Structure 1
C-alpha cells in the first residue's frame, strides 16, 4: 500500500484523527497510536505502539514529545511525515522503530522543511530517513541538538539531504549514510560508530566536528567529501576515498592517533594545512589513474609511524613538513615536487624520496 493512502486508511480503520484546534490553543494531547495529527500536539506520557506506524503528521504540525518516549516495532515508522509542507518534532525520545521518521510518499511532489530539535533516536533501524523523490530531491531536514545512539543508521537516505548541527552520534552502524543526496554537518560529534560518514555520490560537508574512535571515520565515493576545522582521532581509518572523480577537500583538520589517517584509491583530493600526529600511517595513495590526482600543500606530519607513503605517481607535494616520524618522512617516488617540502629526524633515510626536502634548523 502506498504511503499516500496512509491518512485515509488510518482514519477508517480505527485510528484517531486530531482535528484542527482554534488559533492560539495549547497543543492537544496525542490521542494514541495511529493518530493523524492535523494540529499541534504533545505527548503526556510515554507511548508504546506494538504494531503499525506511530503518528502521522499533516502539514504545519508541531509534535512536542515533552520529554517522553515514543517506542514501537522494527517494521514500522514512528513519525510519518507529509510529502509537502513544514513540520517540527522536538523534545523527547524515539526508540525501537524500523525508522524514526520518514516522508510517507516520495513518488509525487516532495517539499518543505522538517525541523528536529533535542530528540534522541535510540535503537532504530534508521533514525531519520531523509529520502526524497526518485531522481529529484526530498524535504529539507534541519536537525539540531539531537542524539543518535545504537541505530543501524543515524541519519541517511537516497535523494535526500540534511543539515545537522550540535548533535551526537554514538554506537551506530553508520552515523550518517547518504546515496545521491548530501548533508552539512556542523559542530557535532561522531564517536564509536562502525562508520562515521558514508558519502556515496553525494555532496557531504563536515565543519568543526569531532570524528572519534570509529571503524571508518569518513568513507567517500564518487563526488568526494569536504572536511574542515575538524578532529579525526582514534579511528581505524579516518578518511577513506574510492573512485572519487569529483574532489575531496581536507583543510585545517587534525588527524591524531588513527590507524591510517588518509587513504586514497583512484581518487582526486586536496589536503591543505592539516596536522597529522601519532598515526600509524598518515597519508597513502595508490596514485590513482590518468586524470586522478592528489595534492598536499602545507601539511605537517609529526611523530607518526610513517608520514607519507605513496608508491605510485599521481601525488603532488608542496610546503609539507615531516618531522620525527618513526619510519618514513616522505616516501613518494614519482611524485610531482612543487617545492618547499622539509623533513628531519625521521627514522628512515633518506628523509625524502621523490621530492627534494630541506632540513630545517634545530630550534
Structure 2
C-alpha cells in the first residue's frame, strides 16, 4: 500500500506541474497531445489548435519524415529571431494553412530536405525570407502561399537547392520577391510578384532555372534579372512598370528569353549587358505602356534577336552598343520616338547581321548601322522621319532592302533599296 500511495503522490506532482505551466493543445493523428507553446519538435502528423505567441526562438521544428503539420488557420508569432517552422532534413513533409510572422525566416527547409510541400501559408513581416530553401533538393514545392512584407525576400532558393518548384504564390511588398542563388534546375512559375522595392525575380549564379508565366508589377529595380547565370529559360512572363529594365541579362550566357510581354520599364524592356549567345525571340515590348527603349545590347556578343515586336518605345526599338556577331532577324520596330533599329560601336564591334527586319514610321531613322563590318539585307523601312536605312561605309549590302516614304529623299544610304 505504501508503494501505491507513493506512486499516486508522484503522479499528482507531475500533473500539478503540467497545470502550472502554460501549454498549447495539439491534435495529432493519435490522441491529443500537450506541447510547449514554442520550440516543440513535431514527430507525428499534427493539427494545431491554438496560436503560438512571442516565440523567443523557433516556433515549431519538424522531427520526422512523411508527416503533415496543419496550422489549421492559426498563427505562429516570433520576436524577430529563429524560424517559424524549421525542417532540418526530413522528407515528405507538408506544412500548410496558417500564418507565420516575426521570425528571421517564416519556413526554412534545410540540407537534405526532399519532397516537402509548403502551401496555404501566409508569411509576413519576417526578416530574411518568408520561405527559404537552403541546399534542399528534389521536388520541394512552395505552392499557393501569400508572402508579404519581408524585410528581404519573399522566397529564397539558395546553396545548391536543386529540382524544386515555386508556383502560384502571391509575393508582394518584399525587398526582393523571389531570389535564386547558386541553385540549378528549379522552376519558378505562375507567381504574382508585386511591388518589390528592389527586384521582382532575381537569379544569380544558377543554371537551368525555368522562369515561366510569372506576372511582375511595380519592381523598384529590374523586374526579372539574371546575373552570372547560364542555360536558363525566361518564358511567357508579363512585366509591367519596373523602375529599371524589365528583363535584364547581366554577364549571362546561353539563355532563352522567349514570348515575354514587357511594358512601362524605366530602362530597356529587355537589356543584355555583357551577355553572350542568348536567344531573345517572340517578345512583345509595349503591351500596355512604352518602355524607355525596347531591346538593348551593351557589349553583348553572339546573340540572336528574332521576331520580337518593339513598337512605340520612348527611345529606339532595338539598339546595339559595342556589340558584335549578333543576328537581328525578322524583328518589328515601328513608331518609336527614336530610331527603329540602331547599331553603333567601334571597328572591333562588327559582324552583326540585320536580316528581314521592319522599321516603319519611326521619329528618326528606320535602321542605322553606324559602324563598319556588318551585313544589311532584306529589311523594310518606310515612312520614317529620316533615312529609311543608313549604313556607314564598310558594311555589306546583302540586297533585298526596301524603303519608301522616308523624309530623306534618297531613302537609303550605304545600301541599295527598292521601293
Q: Say yes or no: TM over 0.5.
A: yes
| Displacement after TM superposition at 1:304 (Å) | 1.5
| Per-residue deviation, residues 172-200 of structure 1 (Å, max 9, x unmatched) | 12111122114311122111112112211
User: Cα gap change, 1:337/1:146 in structure 2, threshold over 3 Å: closer, same or farther?
Assistant: same
Aligned with 1:130: secondary structure?
A: strand
Distance (whole Å) between structure 2 residues aligned to residue 208 and residue 272 of structure 1: 15
Q: Partner of 1:349: helix, strand, or coil?
A: coil
**Counterpart in the other structure of 1:141:** 186
> Which of the numbers 185, 202, 212 marks the counterpart of 1:156?
202
Deviation at 1:145, TM superposition (A): 1.1
- Residue 320 of structure 1: aligned partner: 379
Deviation of the 1:102 alpha carbon: 2.4
The yes-or-no answer on 1:255 pairing with 2:303 is no
- Equivalent pair of 1:170/1:191 in contact (CA under 8 Å): yes
- The aligned counterpart of 2:398 is 338
* Residues 116 and 143 in structure 1, CA contact (< 8 A), matched pair in contact too: yes
- Kept in 1, the 8 Å contact 2:397–2:415? The answer is yes
SS at match of 1:174: coil
Deviation digits for residues 29-83 of structure 1, max 9, x if unmatched? Answer: 388353213453343233322x4121111412433432x521124x412222131
Q: Distance in 1 between matches of 2:179 and 2:378?
A: 43
Q: Which runs of 5+ in 2 are unaligned?
A: 1-38, 42-55, 77-82
Distance change in 2, residues 1:289/1:72 (3 Å)? farther
Give the aligned partner of residue 6 of structure 1.
none
Structure 2 partner of 1:129: 179
Using the TM superposition, give the Cα deviation of residue 311 of structure 1 relative to its aligned residue in structure 2, in angstroms: 2.9
* Counterparts of residues 33-44 of structure 1 (less than 5 Å): 33-37=83-87, 38=90, 39-44=92-97
The 5 A counterparts of 1:119-268 are 119-132=169-182, 138-151=183-196, 152-161=198-207, 162-172=209-219, 173-182=221-230, 183-194=232-243, 195-203=245-253, 204-215=255-266, 216-224=268-276, 225-233=278-286, 234-244=290-300, 246-258=301-313, 259-268=315-324
CA deviation string 1:199-222 (max 9, x = no partner): 111133211121122122111122
After the TM superposition, which of the residue ranges 255-264 and 286-295 deviates more from structure 2?
286-295
Q: Which has the higher strand share?
A: 1
**1:348 counterpart = 2:396:** no
Shift of 1:111: 4.6
Shift, 1:330, TM fit: 0.7
In our comparison, the structure showing a higher alpha carbon Rg is 2
Give the CA deviation at 1:228: 0.9
CA distance in 2, matches of 1:352, 1:297: 16
Q: Residues 64, 15 of structure 1: CA spacing in aligned structure 2 closer, same or farther, 3 A cutoff?
A: closer
Report which structure shows greater RCO (CA 8 Å, sep ≥6).
Answer: 1
Whole-angstrom distance in 1 between the partners of 2:71 and 2:115: 13
Q: Which runs of 5+ in 1 are unaligned?
A: 1-8, 133-137
CA distance 1:326–1:17, change in 2 (3 Å): same
Distance 1:10 1:242 in 2: 54
Match of 2:130 among 63, 78, 97: 78
Instruction: Deviation per CA, 1:73-110: give whole Å up to 9, x if none.
Output: 4x412222131412110002211220122245x3xxx2
User: Structure 1-normalised TM-score?
Assistant: 0.85
Change (3 A) 1:314 1:191: farther
Native 8 Å contact 2:350 2:372 kept in 1:
no
- Aligned-residue offset at 1:21: 5.3
Partner of 2:29: none
How many matched pairs? 336
- TM-score between both structures, scaled by the size of structure 2: 0.74
Q: Show the counterpart of 1:57.
A: 109
1:285 maps to 2:334: no
Q: Distance in 2 between matches of 1:190 and 1:342?
A: 34
* Partner SS, residue 104 of structure 2: coil
The alpha carbon displacement at 1:15 in A equals 4.1
Distance verdict in 2 for CA 1:353–1:44, change over 3 Å: same
Give 3-state SS (helix, strand or coil) of 2:367's partner: strand
**1:287–1:293 CA contact under 8 A, matched in 2:** no
How much is the aligned-residue C-alpha RMSD, in angstroms? 2.4
- Separation (CA, whole Å) in 1 of partners of 2:135 and 2:40: 17
